[in-house]
Structure 1
């Protein structure tokens, strides 16, 4: 989740912006990835914060190469 830390410095902010419980976002952090089902919501939430986040950036962050 390091690829979005510049947009959401805390998990609580991400949870608030996505309308999800903190525990859900904490579980994503523990697993080290955000389910792709939330891509559209994440892109919109980033835009609302004045940032650009793309499907490509999210896909690259999920790729096995980015974990290496």
Structure 2
């Protein structure tokens, strides 16, 4: 989520770009994760802003988040 928020510091812009209601995107920020089903849409939106975002980067962020949440 942090990587996406660097590209879209304004949640309203991200919501508008994805044609989603603002509360949906705000809930993602609150939970600290974006559903994987939006990955391609977010990558396309980032590209429109000139940002380089890949599926690998998004997957890596998810993996790091999952590992942090695990008891080791």
TM-score, with normalisation over the residues of structure 1?
0.89
Task: Point out where structure 1 has 5 or more consecutive residues left out of the alignment.
Answer: none
Task: Point out where structure 2 has 5 or more consecutive residues left out of the alignment.
Answer: none
Q: How many residues align?
A: 67
| RMSD over equivalenced CA pairs, Å | 1.3
Q: Secondary structure at the match of 2:27?
A: helix
Q: Give matches, 1:48-67, under 5 Å.
A: 48-63=48-63, 64-65=66-67, 67=68
TM-score, with normalisation over the residues of structure 2?
0.84
Bigger proportion of residues as helix: 2
